[in-house]
Amino acid sequence: MRKRSLIAHGMFLLLSVGACAQNTGLSGFRHDPNVIRADEITELLDRSVYETVQQLRPRWLMPRFNFKGLPSLFIDNQPYRLDFLETMQPLEVESLSLLNAADATFRWGLGYQNGAILIETRRR
């Protein structure tokens, strides 16, 4: 009976460790839905940043919740029009993040009910 208990305990530990590794992104298959990293961007160098976002995280470019607008855009903490993404090349980008309305408002003040896309460039 004791041997069966030890085997069950060992299986539980193996499953627990496997689940933890998968949830931390160690599996390599999961991506943060609110971040696009440079390694993801380099897979799509033949597109504009707008097309890259459209391909990798299409919901970022959809109207938010009950509001009819799109998220604001900040590049290296400077505001830009969202259509600027159509002229920007992926090689310029280090990472993109989608901030929800609360985080964007906390960072830049009122007027960000649709959230914001924050781009950090390689030229910072």
* DSSP β-bridge partners for residue 37: 95
Nearest to 98 by CA among 107, 86, 109: 107
Same domain, yes or no: 37 and 25: no
Instruction: Indicate whether 20 and 78 sit together in one domain.
Output: no
Q: How far apart are CA 101 and CA 82, in angstroms?
A: 16
pTM of full prediction above 0.85: no
Are 15 and 66 found together in one domain? Answer: no
Q: Which domain holds residue 24?
A: 1-30
Co-location of 71 and 104 in the same domain? yes
What span, in angstroms and rounded, lies between the C-alpha atoms of 68 and 49?
Answer: 22
83: CATH: 2.170.130.10
Least confident of 6-10, 23-27, 30-34, 57-61: 23-27
- Both ends of the chain: CA-CA distance in Å? 63
Contact (CB, 8 A) for 82 and 73 = yes
The tokens of 48 are what?
Answer: 């504009």
Q: Which amino acid is at 89?
A: Q
pLDDT score of 1? 52
Evaluate if residue 94 carries a pLDDT over 70: yes
Same domain assignment for residues 80 and 102? yes
Q: Specify whether 7 is located in the same domain as 60.
A: no
pLDDT tens per residue across span 40-85: 888 788 889 999 999 999 999 987 666 678 999 999 999 999 999 9
Q: How many domains does the chain have?
A: 2
CB 75 within 8 A of CB 40: no
